Structure 1
Amino acid sequence: MGPLRRLLLCLCLPALLPPPAAPAPAPAPRTDWAACRSLSRELSRLVATLKEPHRVLEEMHLSEEDPENWPPRIRCSDACDPSTLDTNNTRCLRRILQGLQHYRDLLSSDIFTARPLPRLETALDRLLGLVQEHGRPPQHPVAPSEAWAHPLLQRLALQRLQSFTAIMSRVFTHSASPR
């Protein structure tokens, strides 16, 4: 092969080769589903074992009329159904993170000053630590409330937390199951 041909081949060969592959995107954070399942079950158990200090409230079902003030809830639009979780769980995890942060903020508010729940706070903190790799929602301070309303607000918060943890535990149980 002549030197001119060799030179042309060396110059043209890179143009004939496919372009180099783009660098792989950084992998999304991996969620420790088994740990989330375990902690969410512990949280559910803790909430279920709490005793109402005011017996008259045990039979009451409290509700808020203003839907704008409702706490975060896991809805159908949050893509927490099993078929969506298997392919893309980001939206669901963001909603769970938002709810966990909301309840954590409530537990550290003046509503629970007279009745701190350190075991519940610790379980929430641990679960928040596992889920926070998907971003941290902004903390919203809970507005101060009247002392007379604290037992009612505690009851309402704990009822809603119990409902939230039940659904959240189902999400984590599904995602932690071997496929």
Structure 2
Amino acid sequence: MALQQIVEETVTGLGYDLVEIERSAGGLLRITIDWPWQGPASEETFVTVEDCEKVNRQLQFSLEVDGVDYKRLEVSSPGIDRPLRHEKDFERFVGELIDITLKAPMGDSAAGLVSANRKKFRGTLERDAANTGWQIVWSDAPEVKPGQRISKKRVPAPLQALGFTLDELREARLAPVVDFKGRKPKVQA
């Protein structure tokens, strides 16, 4: 049986989603798990150390039975910069700040204020107007520092949007935003 299949069957059998499998030098096998998404109305649950420990024990057994060669096994949660790979990941994180990297520069299709050879973007993930694809919306305005005064005469930078398909992406991740004042509840539209 292939490594991907063994790990996926074990992880999903325990009730988790497989986010990523990574093999590194020195025999390290790194598995990233998350709780399955239950839909927009559900409350967000987080992977704990106990969850990782449970999956680790079961994976050690499964990998040993199938004779998979590895030196060290790590099971972890996706963290604050979670990779987005599948359509369901994008559906789950609509409205969140994400970082994307395109496979190819935008080229001549870049109209207006965006450089034609730009490949990296950070903005809010949204469904496109036709509700068939995805878009990222951002503003190139400089970030306001805490305590900084802003002139009322200052004209805000315009919002920009870039539509994309999953095939055009090299990588997509949640943008790692740390707020030390505590979690804010998601605003339901």
Q: TM-score, normalising length from structure 2?
A: 0.22
Considering fraction of residues, name the structure with more strand: 2
Considering fraction of residues, name the structure with more helix: 1
Structure number with larger C-alpha Rg:
1
Structure ranking higher on relative contact order (CA contacts 8 Å, 6+ apart): 1
